[in-house]
Structure 1
Amino acid sequence: MRYLDLSSTVDASAEWEANPVEHTILSPAEGAEHMAAQLRENWGIDFDPAVLPMGEMLSLDTLTLTTHTGTHVDAPSHYGWKTSAGTPRHIDELPLEWFHGPGVVLDLTWAPTGTVNADDLRGQFDVIGYQPRPGDIVLLRTGADALVGSPKYFTDFTGLDGSATNLLLDLGIRVIGTDAFSLDAPFAHMIAQYAETGDRGVLWPAHFAGREREYCQIERLANLGALPAATGFAVSCFPVKISGAGAGWTRAVAMLE
């Protein structure tokens, strides 16, 4: 079995990030001093950190970030709390079996900034000679991960329109992934389209489809171009179990024989 990392890195030093990450590190030496201080303040115990090997205890990382930073899974509750399908579930309430299954990657690197539609996806099914089935995890390779670290990562990518999203849901797909910032078109693109047409359907159609039928998105994937074929691999993308959250980080991995 060969493992291929499909996840982007959470990096506090990244120059461009929608919601900046704060990452502070308590070094092992500082950890020893911290432990000694805690013992003294809370239990009245005097402890000399110098007795520890090299005078060090353990490091500690503290991060401030959103659940939508890095590669993450959006839960139904992220799409809205008022739905026609009842009360939407949070990330900690979803079935584990959704997040491990056969993978299917669709090449959308040819598509311009904006969205693709259902006919575009059907064309890709024909190209790979396969139509996704219930239980499959569908991954959209847009090529946007090549723009990570630049402003264009948030403005230049392809998403799904309502017809494309509903086509995948009609096929029984519960998890749709993308290497772009969002499964919808870029924010500015949608707003400009709405201003021109007055059509509310162009505003976050992929996300809002989740108000009608439960499904999850994996956003900010990476390395989809390294997959050797469109099918024939498994995907594992279990989200972190955060109580009551609308999303959870995941270390998405492809497993190839």
Structure 2
Amino acid sequence: MSDLLTSDDTALIDLSIGLEDGAPSEPTPPKIDAFDHEAGAERLAKNLRQLGHDVEADDFPDGMGLAWEDLEVIPHAGTHLDAPWHYGPEVDGEPAKTIEEIPLEWCRGNAVVLDFREMVPGEEISASDLEAALADLNHELSPGEIVLIQTGADELWGTPEYLTQFPGMSAEGTKFLVEKGIKVIGTDAYGFDKPFAAMGERYVETGDESELWPAHFAGREVEYCQIEKMANLDALPRKTDIPVVAFPITIEDGSAGWVRPVAFVEEREMEGEA
């Protein structure tokens, strides 16, 4: 891992989706108000005048100050890591961790990509589905690995269909992975559970409360974090032993934090894929 971090022959693969103003794939899209350099000069000059200094925007070199953005955004927009606190106040009777309490050790390790792109949107990924996918890879999970669920939904980013066209994890599947020692599970879909519409329809049909966010609520029994809205899993040259780092931003008492997962692979592997 250390060699991959520093080698000039390492390819870095971005596995994230960023924050976008008004994105149609977000039910609560970010609002981004951008200020260019001229507007920045006006605002900086105003700040200095409020401090008692006689400064105008034209006094800045070329009349330009600093560009920046004002954001109105929830921590569950874009690629983010959900903390156990998101699922409930306790995990197996113990206080649930908020995002700033997540051990950094959980957020780096070798990733395993399990491919469920052939599943029907709205279906649940069961423990037996996970076992079959692992058997296809001839891989046995080890504690500390990061499991990435590939649905192919990231190809729909930028469209409303992104919110509805993906399979989701089941409660039993989530528990199965965590009981194998997995602390971080990622997905390239909008959500970790099946889509909202599928959950609502099944609950109305059955009256069974277990249809509502079952994978999330499994986190009230077993401790884990999930990364939602990942991307580019198809760019990875293999499905196992992929070094990944995914450190979240800390937000005081936060239920989640934005994260930019990055995979490290040797350039020659990428060339072999080309």
Q: Report TM bin, short chain.
A: over 0.9
TM-score (norm 2): 0.90
CA drift at 1:28: 1.4
Q: Which residue of 1 aligns with 2:3?
A: none
Counterpart-to-counterpart distance in 1, 2:183 and 2:14: 21
Q: Which residue of 2 aligns with 1:99?
A: 107
Which SS does the other structure have where 1:195 is aligned? helix
Are 1:224 and 2:243 counterparts?
no
CA drift at 1:40: 1.2
Q: Which moved more, 1:217-226 or 1:53-62?
A: 53-62
Q: Which residue of 1 aligns with 2:37?
A: 28
CA drift at 1:82: 4.4
Question: What pairs up with 1:128-147 in 2 under 5 angstroms?
Answer: 128-147=137-156
Question: What pairs up with 1:150-229 in 2 under 5 angstroms?
Answer: 150-229=159-238
TM-score (norm 1): 0.95
1:76 corresponds to which of 84, 89, 93? 84
Query: Could you tell me which amino acid in structure 1 is paired with residue 68 of structure 2?
Result: L
- Count residues in correspondence: 256
Q: Which moved more, 1:137-146 or 1:47-56?
A: 47-56
Counterpart-to-counterpart distance in 1, 2:56 and 2:43: 11
**Deviation digits for residues 65-85 of structure 1, max 9, x if unmatched?**
110101000001111124433
Q: Which residue of 2 aligns with 1:4?
A: 13
**Deviation digits for residues 98-137 of structure 1, max 9, x if unmatched?**
1111011000001112211011110001100102211101
CA contact (8 A) 1:23 1:63 kept: yes
Are 1:108 and 2:137 counterparts?
no
2:129 corresponds to which of 105, 120, 123? 120
CA contact (8 A) 1:105 1:140 kept: yes
Q: Which residue of 2 aligns with 1:51?
A: 59
Counterpart-to-counterpart distance in 2, 1:242 and 1:8: 19
Counterpart-to-counterpart distance in 2, 1:186 and 1:83: 24
Alignment CA distance shift 1:171-1:225 (3 Å): same
Which SS does the other structure have where 1:25 is aligned? strand
Query: Could you tell me which amino acid in structure 2 is paired with residue 127 of structure 1?
Result: D
Q: Which moved more, 1:224-233 or 1:165-174?
A: 224-233
Query: Could you tell me which amino acid in structure 1 is paired with residue 146 of structure 2?
Result: I
Counterpart-to-counterpart distance in 2, 1:151 and 1:31: 34
Counterpart-to-counterpart distance in 2, 1:65 and 1:188: 23
CA contact (8 A) 1:161 1:202 kept: no
Q: Which residue of 2 aligns with 1:148?
A: 157
CA contact (8 A) 1:183 1:206 kept: yes
Counterpart-to-counterpart distance in 1, 2:257 and 2:209: 28
> Please, which runs of 5 or more residues in structure 2 have no aligned partner?
1-9, 267-274
CA drift at 1:180: 0.5
Counterpart-to-counterpart distance in 2, 1:149 and 1:16: 5
Which SS does the other structure have where 1:180 is aligned? coil
Q: Which moved more, 1:197-206 or 1:236-245?
A: 197-206
Query: Could you tell me which amino acid in structure 2 is paired with residue 81 of structure 1?
Result: P
Question: What pairs up with 1:229-240 in 2 under 5 angstroms?
Answer: 229-240=238-249
Counterpart-to-counterpart distance in 2, 1:203 and 1:131: 30
**Deviation digits for residues 191-223 of structure 1, max 9, x if unmatched?**
222233333222211100111122100000001
CA contact (8 A) 1:157 1:185 kept: yes
Counterpart-to-counterpart distance in 2, 1:13 and 1:20: 5
Query: Could you tell me which amino acid in structure 2 is paired with residue 179 of structure 1?
Result: D
Percent of residue pairs identical: 44
CA drift at 1:51: 3.5
Which SS does the other structure have where 2:95 is aligned? coil
